[in-house]
Each structure stands twice: as C-alpha cells, then as structure tokens.
Amino acid sequence: MPTTVTIDHLGQAGDGVCHWQGQNHYLPGVLPGEVVALDEAGRVQAVIEPSPDRQSPPCPHFGICGGCQLQHMTPAAYEAWQVQRLGQILERAGVKVTEMAPLVTMPPHSRRRISVHVRWLKGKAIVGFKQRKSWSVVDVRACEIAHPDVVAALPGIVDLAGPLAQIPKAAPTCHLTRTETGLDVHITGVPPRYDARLRAQVTSAAVAMDLARLSVGKEIWIETRAPQVRFGDVLVTPPPGGFLQAVPEAEAAMAQAVQNAGKHAETVMDLFCGAGAFALRLARDHAVEAYEMNAEAITALQTAARRQQGLKPVQAKARDLFRMPLSAKELNRAQAVVLNPPRAGAEAQVAQLAASEVQTIAYVSCNPQTFARDAKVLQQAGYRLCRLQPIDQFLWSPHVEIVGILEKLST
C-alpha cells in the first residue's frame, strides 16, 4: 500500500522534505504543504493534494533532465523561496546585512552558455543533459533556459561531436557559448586518439554549423573569426573554455552593483578577474589592478584593454590567489576591491582583506555558504555588510548569485 506524507519545506537543493520512517526524506518535484503518495522505496507515486504554488512545467524534459529542479513552482513562490533561503544561510552564519535588495530575475531563453554531453549509444549520438543523479544522458531537443541560437545548434552537435564520442573511453562534453560573432564550442572529455581523417570530419561539421571557433581540449581546431563578447562597451575574445557568466543580463546586474560600490575609489583591484568582465567596465573611471590565475584569461584582458580607447590604466597579472593571496600591504594600494572567486570562496584572500585598510569590498559570489563564511570574517574585522544584491542567474535552480557590498567602519 502507498504511504501518504505531507511535504514540510524545501531543502537547500530544492527538494521537498518530509518525515518518513523516522528521518527526513528528500523528494524531487514536490512543494511544501503537498500531500503525496510514496511507494515502498520512498519514491513519489502521485501528488494527492497539490500546492497552490504548483504550475505546469514549461519544458517537456522536466522531471527527467537534471538541469532544472523548480519549473513546477510559480514564479512568485520560487522567487520568495530564493530570498528566504539566502536569508536563512546568512542568519545561521551570524552575518548581518543592512539592506537586502530585491531579487534580480532572468527570463527564460536568456542563457548564452550551456554544456551538453554526447554519448554514442546503439549506433547513434545522444546529445543532451545528464539525468538527475545519473550518468545517463537525456536526448534534448528543447531547452527553456538557453538562448534560441544555442538551442538551434543542438542538432549540429550530433555531427560535430558524434565521431568523437566513438573514441574508446571518450565522454565528450560540449560547452556552447553564443557570442557576438557566432557560436564558440569547446569540447572536453576526449582522449587524444584521433587521426587526420576524424579531425577533418569534425572540422567539416564545424564549418557546416558556421562556428566562430571550435576547440578540443587545449587546442583550437578551427577559428573562422574571433568569438567576441562585450564587457560594457569593450569587446573581448575569451580563451577556449574560459570562465564567462552564463547570462549577459545577470553579468550586467553584477557589474552595476560593483561599479556603484567603487565609484569614489581612485584605484580598484579586481581579484579573480577572469577575462575582465568587471575590470574593463571599471577602467572607464578608475585605475585597475586585476589578478587571475588563468594566464590565458589575463592575456585576453590585456589585449582588450590595449585595443580600447578611453580607459584608465589597467594592470593585469596572472597570480594564484589561493596559494599567493595579495597581502594587506599590497591591498592597501586600492580604495576598493572586487572579489569574484569560484564556489570555494576566498578564505586566504579574505584573511588578508580583513587585515587591510581597504574601504570598500564588492564580493561577487555564486555560493551563499562560502560567501557567508567569508563575510563573517570581514564583519569581525570591522566591515559592515551594507547591501546584498541577489541575482537569479540560473533560472529554476537552487543556485543564486549575490553581490555583497562591505564598507569598513571608521574607528
């Protein structure tokens, strides 16, 4: 007989949480307050009493594809949950925020960048996203989050990466980026076991797709024109596979928050700067020192800065800020610092910031947990988290981007 349970709340990953067989049980695709029937294995058989916050998912792959977790939730309820969850994370960490700005949301079909997996199964190539908690790949023909130009390229990926998927032990992942000059495709997960014939076959498919650039591993196989993205009004050619924010409008919202925070600074340091999404915008009004461990990204930033007229001086250097964080003395050359680390946060660099005299810190984070950890250190060192800007870059997922503005209290 099925077991009937009531969903209590959503967990951090967007799963519904209920108490079942003496412990919390996490169920995908259900919402707080819903009564659901479970089979003997604890899987949802049916939603008996749906929540008023439930809607019909817009994507035909929802529930099988692991890319979106919350399409079944109305926009108002989804956005409220994102803000509530962020507040809970900060509260648990003991981080106080003076002002929580309204959530900035992204519309469907806005992502310029996605990654799809390619597998060779039963004599044909399968292109799509991994299933939830599985290595299996869902054959995708539609995507509600990706830009139409990116979705339109998916059929061509069959001919492009299908031959590579037939290489023994290959598991190609195609990273597609829509740029101002065309599609940029970077393929990883391919052992270097290809001959000239296979390479020519793949390159021919790239030409047929009119790709701006195709790179496999660390090598560019074809570049018909430089793929270019725009950081403010500065055109940049990012390196193959280099970091880039997924949605241009989300990047612009982050940049606006960063620029507002540092507007009174003469010199701004941009740490974990990537190819210059913030640095090149800031250089319109400030001298900029930029640091990033990826040397190719630094080269792209330097090249763009040299070509662009009207910028203040930009110094960009390759440096591993995890192993060699800037010291408090070095940081004191700037009045404002932008910090945009990966998900692990910036524990070592934050320790030096805490000991510095930097007046303003704009901390851009894709992980509220590590942000809260680092913000707590800065607050204990005399900084006030005066404003927090949440940005829902990854629509229908539990991920949220934040820009925290911290000001050093006068002593």
Mean pLDDT of 61-79: 94
Q: Is 273 a catalytic residue?
A: no
According to the model, what pLDDT value does residue 132 have? Answer: 83
Model pLDDT for residues 207-225, shown as the tens digit of each residue: 999 999 999 999 999 999 9
Q: Is the pLDDT of residue 301 over 70?
A: yes
Strand 314-318's sheet: what is its strand order?
104-105, 383-392, 401-408, 360-365, 336-339, 267-271, 287-292, 314-318
> Can you give the residue ranges of every domain in the chain?
3-54, 79-106+247-408, 113-229
| pLDDT score of 128 | 94
For the segment 384-408, what is each residue's pLDDT rounded down to a tens digit? 999 999 999 999 999 999 999 999 9
Fold equal for 3-54 and 79-106+247-408? no
- Stretch 49-57: mean pLDDT, rounded? 97
Point out which residues pair with 116 in neighbouring strands. Answer: 174
Average pLDDT value for residue range 228-242: 97
Question: What's the pLDDT at 117?
Answer: 97
Beta bridge partners of 403: 364, 389
CA–CA separation, 411 and 45 (whole Å): 61
409 in Cβ contact with 384 (< 8 Å) = yes
Backbone angles phi, psi at 257, to 5 degrees: -65, -40
Of 3.30.2420.10, 1.20.120.160, 1.10.10.10, 2.40.50.1070, which CATH number belongs to 113-229? 2.40.50.1070
pLDDT digits (tens, 9 = 90+) for 177-206: 999 999 999 999 999 988 999 999 999 999
CATH topology of domain 79-106+247-408: Rossmann fold (3.40.50)
What is the CATH class of 3-54? Answer: mainly beta
Written as one string, the DSSP assignment of 357-385 is --SEEEEEES-HHHHHHHHHHHHHTTEEE
Residue 173 sits at φ, ψ, to 5 deg, of -120, 125
- The mean pLDDT of the chain is 96
> Mean pLDDT throughout 146-157?
97
Residue 411 confidence (pLDDT): 57
